Each structure stands twice: as structure tokens, then as C-alpha cells.
Amino acid sequence: MKLAWMISLSVWLKRTEMSPRRGEVWLADLGWPTGHEQAYKHPAVVIQNDDLGQLSTFIVIPTTSKLHRRRYKGTVTLQAGEGGLDKQTVALCYQARVLDRSKLLQRLGEVSSATLAEVEITMAYVLGIAV
């Protein structure tokens, strides 16, 4: 019984230490591009509910440093320094996608609650959900 408890504790600790959390920015391997998808390695904002952290996949929003993308609806500007980003960046909410945990390479930081709220509103717009 004691061994089972220790194993459970070990699994829980590993999950909570390594599990990406909603609002965190991670360096993500977005893979090879198809068409106009964001690809290769880029920061991405985790938007998945923390209650689903035990899953092996996460819903993320890729980002770009190409500021001209701000002109498109469905984007949110992240200021330099926010989320561990070294320059102003655009979150491409219209390109939200699911990635396997193994493609989230390194935690960079966390966006502010105000920015996360803006991302949530923008995602509702992208998905056609009334708020």
C-alpha cells in the first residue's frame, strides 16, 4: 500500500511540474508547414483547460514576430517581456491547434490575466461563440 501511494505521489508531482498550464507560453515544435500554417519552432500560448492536463495533447495558439499579421481579425498582440518573449509578438488565434506534449519543448513564461482574457474573447470570435 505504501509503495502504491509513493508511486501515485511521484506521478502527480511529475505531472504538475511538467504539465503546461493555461496561459503559459511554450517553445513549440509546430512541424512542417502545409499551406499558410505557422510551422517549425515558435512560441505558443497554451489555452487548454488545466483540468485536462493529464491528457497527452494540448490546445495551443502559435505566435509570430511578423507584426503585420496584427491587421487580421483573430489575433492578439503580446508585448515584449510578456510570457518570457523578448520582442513584441502576435498570437494567431485563428491558427489554434492541438499538439502532443512532446512538441512543447520549453516553458518560456506566462501571459498576464488581462492578455489571457483578450485571447479568450478572440478565440470565442474565431469559433463563433457568443460571449
Q: Is the dihedral of CA 77, 81, 83, 88 positive or negative?
A: positive
Q: How do residues 77-112 score in pLDDT, each as one tens digit? A: 999 999 999 999 999 999 999 999 999 999 999 999
Q: Which residues of the chain, if any, have pLDDT below 50?
A: 9-10, 12-16
| All structural domains of the chain with their residue ranges | 20-127
pLDDT of residue 111: 98
pLDDT of residue 131: 81
State how far the alpha carbon of 124 is from the alpha carbons of 15, 16, 64, 77, in Å. 29, 28, 20, 16
Between CA 39 and CA 64 the distance in angstroms is 10
Which of 84, 79, 83, 104 minimizes the C-alpha distance to 23? 83
Decide: 97 and 65 in contact? Cβ < 8 Å: no
Q: Please provide the size of the chain in residues.
A: 131
CATH of domain 20-127: 2.30.30.110
pLDDT of residue 5: 52
pLDDT of residue 13: 46
pLDDT of residue 80: 96
This prediction's pTM: 0.85
DSSP symbol at 88 = -
